[in-house]
A and B are shown apart, each in its own frame.
Chain A
Amino acid sequence: MKGIAHFSMGVAIASCVPAAVRSALDGNGWPLVLGGIAGILPDTLDFRISRYLAAHDVEIVPDPLRPDASMIAQGVAWAIDRCAARRRGIRLRLRSIRMASDRWQSYAVRFDPAARKVIVEYGPVVDPGGGIVCGCPPEAGGLRLRAEAKVRADLRIEYEAEISVAGFDGPLLYLEQMKDGRISVGFLPWHRRWSHSLFLAASAGIASWLAWGTEAGVAAGCAWAAHALADHCGYMGSNLLFPLTARREEGLKMMHSSDFFPNLAAVWASLTVIFLNLGLYSRPRPFACGMAYWRALFVGCIVPLAVIRYLLGRANRGIRVEKSGVRKKTKRRN
């Protein structure tokens, strides 16, 4: 999920600790701030430290001036076959193609396990938000914008079959031979490998307890754990039991981290819970506790989110006209 969703969830969890709210009323709001910081820290550690220390064995650097999909496809296929031949993991980095300060030439790498091939296709030039700026570059000098390359080994997709490369540095893939001989294609191996573990959450909680007291410890530990568990609802999963386990476990695949509605719901629900908790533990209480709290949560959070979800669902339900002229309803991912 997005950083602001994790941060607000962390503060919301901290606000559920009565002592933390009372401490804030007495002038020390640090446990609540710590909840937010602990909520965002796992991703901060990964994207600011792990990412830069993650080495690669093979790097594919497309030329911005000469778009050549076959070079990329052959490079990826070579890395897969080399992994199979040497029976050792290979870290493959796909460099992004930067055209301007805020423009990237996108390309997609798709793995087809059934056909045992890698397909690379150049896409449009995009801006940092993923919006299309202009179309695909022209084919020139015999170079192609779409190419395929065969691989000899069987493939197993760990994350998603298609990886889009557009923005910043470009992703790191981890190619590893499994026990059954298939080559597993892992995405961003440095992400959520150790930072999103319950052990680290407990450590953060204990360290905070020792430094700042019980409410700070509970807030930090629970916020960190909530981040790990929330991310585990996605596709990439997390290594929740690090250091007992070394691999990321597949996620529950309930949502994608960049999906609009889950992030909106997390932020909205968190802000509502924070507001209600602050009101509940304030002296004097601005509203009665008990049923009023849950009623306020229902009216202020659940009902509006349900309405938004319904409206989004209707907007995403498109109609696709088949060649035969039969109109079928399809559901696009939100």
Chain B
Amino acid sequence: MSEHESGVCPVCGRFVGPADACPYCEAEGISPQPVRMLRWGALFSSTAGIIFLWLMARHSEPAMIRAADISPQMHLARVVMEGFVERGSSAGAETATDGRIWFRLCDGTGSIMVKAEGMAARRLAARYGKPDRGEFVTVFGTVEMDRRGRAVLRPAAWTIRPGAEKNLRKRGEPSCAAVTDTPQGREGLLK
């Protein structure tokens, strides 16, 4: 660290702050060495570090979870889930005229509502197609908990395998039709 007073030009003694050249006596190279190192260090570490993190991200996989694993602490968790688009009276992939896509995804341990709206829905439909009932879908998206404690999966991408016979149901596990929604948080003060 320079011996001169913080921010003051060592030649003329006037305040110059972090400037490298004094505007009064035009002396050059007056900012302390650690400060110059910090500036270049910050520029380098930030840009190179971001590039490195990006490369790391490209080679990492998000976690795959099941519907039974979802808890309220998973709000905004980025996950992969796969399952069948559930059959049922209120289920099925529907596209409303106002550009929403939603369907219920059942993986044998539970089910979760997958919802996309507006421009995101239009982009997903255009790029990946719209899932139909019974199709096997792998969804990459974000888990969101609404104010009633219900989990919704906001998709960023999905892969549809139409007519796939992959059966997630193991011996003893309930079928998708019998499974209830994802677990909700406990309610109230006196219950």
The answer to A–B direct touch (Cβ < 8 A) is yes
Q: Which residues of A contact B (CB under 8 A)?
A: 26-28, 61, 63-65, 98-101
Report how far A101 CA is from B118 CA in the complex, Å: 48
List the B side residues contacting A65 at CB < 8 Å: 13-14
Interface size on B, residues (CB 8 A): 10
- Residue B53 is within 8 A (CB to CB) of chain A in the complex: no
List the A side residues contacting B72 at CB < 8 Å: none
Contact A27 B7 (CB under 8 A): no
List the B side residues contacting A100 at CB < 8 Å: 7, 15, 17
CB-based nearest A residue for B118: A27
Contact B7 A101 (CB under 8 A): yes
Distance in Å from the Cβ of A30 to the closest Cβ of chain B?
11
| A27-B14 contact, Cβ under 8 Å, with A100-B7, A101-B7 | no
List the B side residues contacting A64 at CB < 8 Å: 14-15, 24
Distance in Å from the Cβ of B123 to the closest Cβ of chain A?
11
Contact A98 B15 (CB under 8 A): yes
Report how far A27 CA is from B122 CA in the complex, Å: 11
Contact A101 B17 (CB under 8 A): yes
Distance in Å from the Cβ of B9 to the closest Cβ of chain A?
10
CB-based nearest B residue for A26: B118
Report how far A52 CA is from B99 CA in the complex, Å: 48
- Residue B56 is within 8 A (CB to CB) of chain A in the complex: no
Report how far A100 CA is from B118 CA in the complex, Å: 52
- Residue B119 is within 8 A (CB to CB) of chain A in the complex: yes
Report how far A26 CA is from B100 CA in the complex, Å: 11
Distance in Å from the Cβ of B50 to the closest Cβ of chain A?
26
CB-based nearest B residue for A95: B23
Contact B119 A99 (CB under 8 A): no
Contact A98 B118 (CB under 8 A): no
A-B contact pairs, 13 of them (CB 8 A): A26-B118, A27-B99, A27-B118, A28-B119, A61-B24, A64-B15, A64-B24, A65-B14, A98-B15, A99-B15, A100-B7, A100-B17, A101-B17
Report how far A63 CA is from B99 CA in the complex, Å: 66
Report how far A63 CA is from B12 CA in the complex, Å: 11
List the A side residues contacting B118 at CB < 8 Å: 26-27
List the B side residues contacting A63 at CB < 8 Å: 14, 24
CB-based nearest A residue for B122: A27
List the A side residues contacting B24 at CB < 8 Å: 61, 63-64
List the B side residues contacting A61 at CB < 8 Å: 24
Report how far A174 CA is from B7 CA in the complex, Å: 33
Report how far A267 CA is from B6 CA in the complex, Å: 40
Report how far A100 CA is from B119 CA in the complex, Å: 51
Distance in Å from the Cβ of B118 to the closest Cβ of chain A?
4
List the A side residues contacting B119 at CB < 8 Å: 27-28
CB-based nearest A residue for B119: A27
List the A side residues contacting B14 at CB < 8 Å: 63-65
CB-based nearest A residue for B13: A65
List the B side residues contacting A27 at CB < 8 Å: 99, 117-119
Identify the interface centre among B15, B24, B99, B118: most chain A CB within 10 Å of its CB.
B15
CB-based nearest A residue for B120: A27
Report how far A104 CA is from B117 CA in the complex, Å: 53
List the A side residues contacting B17 at CB < 8 Å: 98, 100-101
CB-based nearest B residue for A98: B15
List the A side residues contacting B99 at CB < 8 Å: 27
Q: Mark B117-135, 1 if CB is under 8 A from A, else 0.
A: 1110000000000000000
CB-based nearest B residue for A27: B118
Q: 17 new A-B pairs (CB below 8 Å) besides A98-B17, A100-B15? A: A26-B118, A27-B117, A27-B118, A27-B119, A28-B119, A61-B24, A63-B14, A63-B24, A64-B14, A64-B15, A64-B24, A65-B14, A98-B15, A99-B15, A100-B7, A100-B17, A101-B7
